[in-house]
Structure 1
Amino acid sequence: MVSFPTVDKCASIGKEKHSVVADMDGTLLRGRSSFPYFALLSFEGGGIFRLLFLLLNSPLAGLLYYFVSESAGIKVRATGFVQSPAVLVGKNKADALKKAFGETQPEIGLGDRHTDAPFMALCKEGYIVPPKPEVEAVTTDKLPKPVIFHDGRLVQKPTPLSALLIVLWIPIGFILACLRIAAGSLLPIPMVYYGFWALGVRVTIKGTPPPPAKKSIGQSGVLFVCSHRTLLDPIFLSTALGRPIPAVTYSLSRLSEIISPIKTVRLSRDRAADASMIKKLLEEDELVPVAMVNRMSMFHGTTARGWKGMDPFYFFMNPGPAYEVTFLNKLPPELTLSGGKSSHEVANYIQRVIAATLSYECTSFTRGDKYRALAGNDGNVVEKTKVQANE
């Protein structure tokens, strides 16, 4: 068997344009177990029952992995049909590399176990990543590209123990989520804060909420501009204010509309019409930025690929979900449209203020850019053509 030097012997200087072929578990990732990868795919692709099936299969997969072959153990963990050439281990991985590169020889091959030797031998240089000493994760500032987008329901890495806790908690969490949603939908808005508190949902209010406008004496309304965390932002904003406020949104599922305790105003998705509407909103005398932060320990309350109707349920299924609502200072007159600023300048300024409060970094990504990166579409819903009654 070919012996390879350890990866610390690999000098990166002068190899910026070299092609690198690397194993994933234990090489690119610090963890050597493939369970989190398959658990994530099982839950996101097949739901709780497929994750349960993976958990039940794990003891058998472990026995096959250590006493039969690595390939046999991984096949069991796949919990589904595997397309040819099946699991890429050993010779299969080397064959796949030949097919991908042809006669071209990759410069560097990285692996962490003896079954990686066949594909590493096809590279000009090969290096082994030893299991010890354990290395620290690469910090964000040292990554080749910034990590901006994330999509998925699970907050923590699904280890066998955390996956078991998720499977056991979901039936309890779903019942609890239904109770919490019912409290938010059925209780009067001034009582929702206390209803949430009794059911384990914490709402922290910072800053000074503006009082309701007195239209009898000619006071204009207040436009609250929030950082969009989940579909529940306007509901928790209303909870913090103690009064219902309408929310402007791109789209909501029918289920979300039914359970929403506040009025929602849909944007038309027509760029000109929506731009005109938003410009009118920004002409309000009082613009108040609101920084929203939510904390979840088990499930993310938003997703780009999944069904949006389940977003509120996943958020409220967390054992102790929390929302922090920070009311910032209203914009001074000279920074509004009436002060001579354009709608783009006002929107960008509000974005910077909220980002500074939350310690975020602003980007130039539009809503369409984000959806294309996460879901492969521009986030627009194709309207169904209306069928005439006589057709």
Structure 2
Amino acid sequence: MDLKVFSKSLLFFYRYLLTRLRSAHATQVKLYKYPYEDKLSGRVLICDVEGGLLRSSSTFPYFMLVALEGGGFLRGLLLLLLYPLVCLVSHEVGLRLMVMVAFCGLRKDGFRVGRAVLPKFFLEDVGLEGFRVFSRGGKRVCVSSMPRVMVEGFLKDYMEVEVVLGRELKDFGGYYTGLMEKGNKTWEGIASKELFGGEGEMNASVTGFGGRYLNSFHHPLFSHCKEVYLVSEAEKRRWHPLPRSAYPKPLIFHDGRIAFRPTPASTLCMFLWIPLGIPVAISRLLIFLSLPHALSIPMVAILGLHFRVTSSSSHHREPQGQLYVCNHRTLVDPIYISGALKRHVTATTYSLSRISELLSPIKTIRLTRNREVDRVTMESLLKEGDLVVCPEGTTCREPYLLRFSPLFTELSREVVPVALNVHFNMFHGTTASGFKGLDPLYFLMNPFSCYNVVFMEKVATGSVDGKECSSREVANYVQEKMGKVLGFECTALTRRDKYLMLAGNEGISYKEAKGS
């Protein structure tokens, strides 16, 4: 080798080594070691979301959720077909490709997937071990390679993060273009004092936490850290999921149709199932509509719709009709109660699509949200036969009970509480912001589902344990008893709270508002 070339190579290596030593002096990187609580207390903690908080570093499921819930099945299928290409190209190119497919053409003002859908899946992917480190920091700053609109709702609303720094999306005419801004304009426009406090003690009071996956700690923000703690992918695979009881803020409401984590394999199974699931759903519906309960229940059980009935006492037909009070899980709650009783009942509802009303095998009556009008309507229905009411007024997917309206206590001297729970594995049969007319199809398209129906002891509506009480106290008592049977937590949240969070409205249509 030429001596001149060798000397230049040696000089280049010396300069590179000197640069690395200076960098190591400024920021100390530690592997496979977690900071102690006393070291993090009161410090600013910079956490890489994908590397230090979530168990899986793959962002594909979250982009698939944006594609499916924000754009539809065709957009999701396109993203799935492009997944092999995403794996072949570099991480940055693959990320931009997923952003393009998932976001291009979505309306910016109407994008609610980040707050209504994604938090549930993010919370289920949080690692308990990573969260223990994350929760010890004083002020927490989170950085992510995903667009900020995807992670901000999860981090600020549920993880109590003060500052969220993610990629920014370009938009044109109120629609996302599918392109990301160069660099990270979110954090570049924020002064260091606002992020870390005083300049003089910056490095001493800032600690980084991330993963070794794709060198996530090389985000420019980590240069302000005195120490950076890293965790390997092998160690993250041993992390445990964060239990629901440890959530900083409980997840009560969420929206969207997808009930599973859409990894590439599970998403492929969904698309393979849909051509078969539609005729299966139609067959199940025809059985419900055309056959009596004695035949329809066992036949739909063969097709994957199971249900289990538990009764603490016999519930015979009353002369004036029996009032059944149940919690609300899906639109088919009254149908399963009718099947368990083996006789037709009448169901009342606040908002039901015309399609669902026409397809219902039992009689359904719409309420007006005018208390006096609705009370008279339900009293007349109760004189004709058995009546099912859902005092929550809307469905809740998680193990919580919303506030019970006390109107049912004014309809009958005693009521039969019915505790309901349902499990399914592919699609949610309810929606807050989507087209409600498809609710029956999505529910019946699940490969398997199981309804648990528990008939509880009758409750007098004028007193509690022999003591005279108000209608509100009786409603709270029924809610509490039902919560204990189901293992659900009782809340004071209402339909209005749900729709304000998930759909940006109060859940009342123009006709309902006019009628009230």
TM-score range, shorter chain: 0.7 to 0.9
Deviation at 1:12, TM superposition (A): 4.3
**Superposition pairs of residues 7-18 of structure 1, within 5 angstroms:** 8-13=33-38
Q: 1:287 aligns with which of 412, 415, 420?
A: 415
Query: 1:250 & 1:17 partners in 2: Cα distance?
Result: 50
| Structure 1 residue corresponding to 2:428, chosen from 268, 278, 300 | 300
Measure how far apart 1:203 and its partner are. 2.0
SS at match of 1:376: coil
Which structure has the highest helix share of the two?
A: 2
Partner of 1:375: 503
Contact 1:297 1:320 in 2 (8 A): yes
- The partner residue of 2:257 within 153, 165, 171 is 153
Residues 1:100 and 1:152: Cα distance change in structure 2 (over 3 Å)? farther
Answer yes or no: is the 8 Å Cα contact 1:4–1:127 preserved in 2: yes
Trace 1:201-350 onto structure 2 (pairs within 5 A). Answer: 201-207=305-311, 208=313, 210-213=315-318, 215=319, 220-270=320-370, 273-274=373-374, 279=407, 282-332=410-460, 335=463, 340-350=468-478
Q: CA deviation at 1:99?
A: 2.2
3-state secondary structure, aligned to 1:133: helix
- After TM superposition, the structure 1 stretch with the greater mean CA deviation from structure 2, 178-187 or 191-200, is 191-200
Summarize the Cα distance change of 1:385–1:335 in structure 2 as closer, same or farther, 3 Å threshold: closer
Shift of 1:27: 2.5
Deviation for aligned residue 1:296:
0.4
1:188 pairs with one of 292, 295, 299: 292
Q: Tell me, in whole angstroms, the C-alpha distance in 2 between the residues paired with 1:333 and 1:383.
A: 32
| Cross-structure match for 2:215 | 114
Q: How does 1:96-135 map to 2 (within 5 A)?
A: 96-100=186-190, 104-106=194-196, 107-112=206-211, 113-121=214-222, 123-124=224-225, 126-134=228-236, 135=239
Alpha-carbon offset, residue 172 of structure 1: 0.8
CA distance in 1, matches of 2:48, 2:375: 48
Task: Name the CA shift for 1:120/1:83 in 2 (closer, same or farther; >3 Å).
Answer: closer
CA distance in 2, matches of 1:87, 1:296: 37
CA contact (8 A) 2:499 2:507 kept: yes
List alignment gaps of at least 5 residues for structure 2.
1-19, 105-167, 172-178, 197-205, 379-405
Matched, 1:22 2:47: yes
Structure 1 residue 87, shift from structure 2 partner: 4.2
Query: What secondary structure, in the 3-state scheme, does the structure 2 residue paired with 1:148 have?
Result: coil
Partner of 2:265, secondary structure, is helix
Structure 2 CA distance, aligned partners of 1:316 and 1:63? 38
Give the aligned partner of residue 164 of structure 1.
268
From 174, 180, 183, the counterpart of 1:92: 183
Amino acid at match of 2:50: D
Q: 1:385 to 1:243 in 2, by over 3 A?
A: closer
Superposed CA deviations along residues 268-288 of structure 1, whole A, max 9, x for unmatched, are 123565578663664413300
Question: RMSD of aligned C-alpha atoms?
Answer: 3.0
In the other structure, the counterpart of 1:177 is 281
CA distance in 1, matches of 2:40, 2:303: 56
TM-score by length of 1: 0.85
Aligned residues between the structures? 374
Q: Secondary structure of 1:53's partner?
A: helix
**Helix, strand or coil at the partner of 1:105:** helix
Q: 1:48 to 1:263 in 2, by over 3 A?
A: same
Q: What's the offset of the Cα at 1:265?
A: 2.0
Deviations 1:331-382 (A, max 9, x none): 1476369973222112111111111111111112122112222222222112
Match of 1:32 among 44, 48, 57: 57
CA separation of 1:281 and 1:8: change in aligned 2, threshold 3 A? same
